[in-house]
Amino acid sequence: MTATRVAVVASDGSARTGRVHTGRGSYRIPAFMPVGTRGAVKALDSADLDGLGVEVVLANTYHLMLRPGVEEIAALGGIHRFTGWSGHALTDSGGYQVHSLHPVVDDDGVEFTSVYDGAKLHLTPEGAVEAQGRIGADIQMVLDVCTTLPAEPGALRQAVERTAVWAGRARRHHRTFVDRPEGQALFGIVQGGTDPVLRVESARRTVEIGFDGYGIGGLSVGEPREAMLEALAATVPELPPDLPRYLMGVGDPVGLVEAIGLGIDQFDCVAPTRMARHGSILTGRGRLNLRNAAHTRDDTPLDESCGCSTCLRWSKGYLRHLLLVGEPTAWRLLSIHNLAQLLLLMEQARSAIAAGRFESFRSRVAAVWAP
C-alpha cells in the first residue's frame, strides 16, 4: 500500500487532471508548488499562501539542515508547526545542490561546504531520509545526482548509476526508519540528461525499486526546451499511471503547459517569486517590466483581468515606486501576483483538460509566451 495515489478525473491525450491522495489529504493536479527554500517562500508567509489557494509547498533539506538544523525543527513540532503551514510540504533532498554547488560526490554520498559558515556537511541517501523524516515533510525526495547540461555521456551514465543505487538505499532505509510521520511518502527520481535511452533505463530501474511517486530531475539545467520535452516524452510512459509524476525545477508558462501535455502532474520553481523581486511581472498578455518609466503614472493594476489581492488594490505606478526605492513590501505584493498567475494557469489547465480542450489551451499559451 503506497502513501500516495492519483485519482484521475479527466484526461485529454496524455494530459490529466484529478487529485493526488496522501497521508495528509489531497491536492489537485496539475499543481504548481511555490518554493520555500528555508522554510518560507521569500517575502511571503503561510497566510499569504493560504490566501492564494496554494496546496503544496517545497522546502529544501540542505538549507534547513544547516539553519536552523533538523533537530531544532523537530523540537519545534516539525515543518508544519514550525512554519505555520497546514497544507502539504514536500522536501527536496539536496540533489539539486549537487548540480549548483559542485560538492565532492562519491559512491557513499555527498560532501557539501556550508554556504553559511564553510563547515563540511556529509550527506548520504540514508541521512537524507532521516533528515526529511525528522523535518516531518509529507513527501520526501531521494538523494540523487543532478548533472549540469550539456554533459559528457560518461557523466550522465555515472549519474544514472549512482542515482539508482542511492534510490535503493533510500527506499530500504525509509521502510525501517521509525522517526518519520505516519504515511510519509518517498518519491524516486529519474535522471539521464537529455538522452532518451538513459531516461528510459533510469525510469525502469527507479520504478523497479518501487516508490510512492516519481520525480524527473536533471532538466531545465541549461538544455533547449525541445531536448527537455524529448526526454520527458521518453520518460513518462515508463512511470506508473496511478502515482504522481513531478517535473522538478520548471516554472515558465510554456514549459509547464508542454509538460502537462506529456502527462506531468506537478512542478516547482523559484522563478515567479525571483522575477517578482526584480520587477518582471507575469500577466495574461505576457511579461511586463515594471521598471519601465512608462508605468510611472499608470493607475491601472498589473493585470486588469487578475483577481489577486495586489491587483484588486494597487496600481502599477505605486508598485513601481515601491520597487525602485527598495521597499520590501514590493517583493511581497509582486510575488503574490506572480504566484497567482501561475496558479491560475494550473486552474485553466485543469479546466481545459476536463473540457477536452487542452490542445487549444496549449496553443493559446504558446502564442502569448513562446519566444
| 3-state class (DSSP) for residue 229 | helix
In this structure, are residues 188 and 217 in contact, taking their beta carbons and an 8 Å threshold?
Answer: no
Residues 90 and 228 in one domain: yes
Question: What are the phi and psi torsion angles at 7 (to 5°)?
Answer: -105, 105
Tell me what pLDDT residue 1 has: 44
Q: Is the CB of residue 145 less than 8 Å from the CB of residue 172?
A: no
Helix (H) or strand (E) holding 81: helix 78-83
Task: Specify the number of domains making up the chain.
Answer: 2
DSSP-based three-state secondary structure for 257: helix
CATH of the domain at 141: 3.20.20.105
Give the burial string for 18-32 (b: 16+ CB within 10 Å, else e).
bbbbbebebbbbbbb
On whether residue 8 sits in a domain, the answer given is no
Distances in whole angstroms, Cα of residue 24 to Cα of each of 18, 20, 88, 95, 276: 16, 10, 7, 25, 31
How far is C-alpha 141 from the chain's CA centre?
Answer: 11
Question: Are residues 107 and 253 located together in one domain of the fold?
Answer: yes
Task: Report yes or no: 232 and 218 within 8 Å, Cβ to Cβ.
Answer: no
One domain, residues 175 and 127: yes
* 55 lies in the same domain as 139: yes
Per-residue model confidence as pLDDT tens digits over 73-91: 999 999 999 999 999 999 9
Distance, C-alpha 146 to centroid of its chain: 15
DSSP SS3 for 296: coil
pLDDT at 129: 97
Owning domain of residue 39: 28-269
In terms of domains, do 77 and 165 share one? yes
CA atoms within 13 A on the CB side of 114: 13
Strand partners, 91: 59, 140
Residues annotated as catalytic are 92, 268
φ, ψ of residue 187 to 5 degrees: the values are -100, 135
Residue 18 inside a domain? The answer is no
Cell 488594490 sits at which residue? 313
Where does a domain end: 204, 234, 269?
A: 269
Per-residue pLDDT tens over the stretch 133-188: 999 999 999 999 988 888 899 999 999 999 999 999 999 999 999 888 889 999 99
- Rounded to a whole number, what is the distance in angstroms from the first to the last CA of the chain? 44
pLDDT at 112: 86
For 343, other C-beta atoms within 10 Å of its C-beta total: 19
The residues of the chain scoring below 70 in pLDDT are 1-2, 371
Minimal CA–CA distance to 127: which of 139, 110, 102, 103? 110
347 within domain boundaries:
yes
Same domain, 204 and 347: no
Same domain, yes or no, for 104 and 230? yes
Largest CA distance in the chain: 62
Q: Could you give the 3-state DSSP secondary structure of residue 188?
A: strand
Say how far apart CA 47 and CA 32 lie, in whole Å: 17
Which of 110, 106, 64, 109 lies closest to 83 in space, CA to CA?
64
- Regarding whether 307 and 218 lie in a shared domain, the answer is no
DSSP H/E element including 367: helix 358-369
110 with 254, same domain?
A: yes
Within this chain, do residues 225 and 308 fall inside the same structural domain, yes or no? Answer: no
